């Protein structure tokens, strides 16, 4: 997917949720920091049945 983040969906899920929990208050800030296309990220994680929940700021 991108150079600085995991490509495997399960590893990506863990990485993104950890980053959101520890460093970023929104998915948009995460995407901006890592230069990631939000829709591509959401589609990749949707492929393993995870969707972003803004209220909890994590993929569930």
| Angle, alpha carbons 17-49-4 (nearest 5°) | 40
Looking at residue 1, its pLDDT comes to 58
Q: Which residue numbers in the chain have pLDDT < 50?
A: none
Looking at residue 6, its pLDDT comes to 95
Sequence spans of domains, the chain: 9-59
Helix (H) or strand (E) holding 52, with range, is strand 52-53
């Amino acid at each position: 997917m991108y150079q600085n983040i995991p490509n495997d969906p399960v590893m990506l899920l863990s990485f993104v949720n950890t980053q959101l929990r520890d460093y970023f208050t929104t998915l948009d800030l995460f995407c901006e920091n890592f230069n990631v296309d939000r829709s591509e990220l959401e589609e990749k994680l949707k492929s393993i049945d995870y969707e972003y929940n803004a209220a909890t700021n994590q993929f569930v």
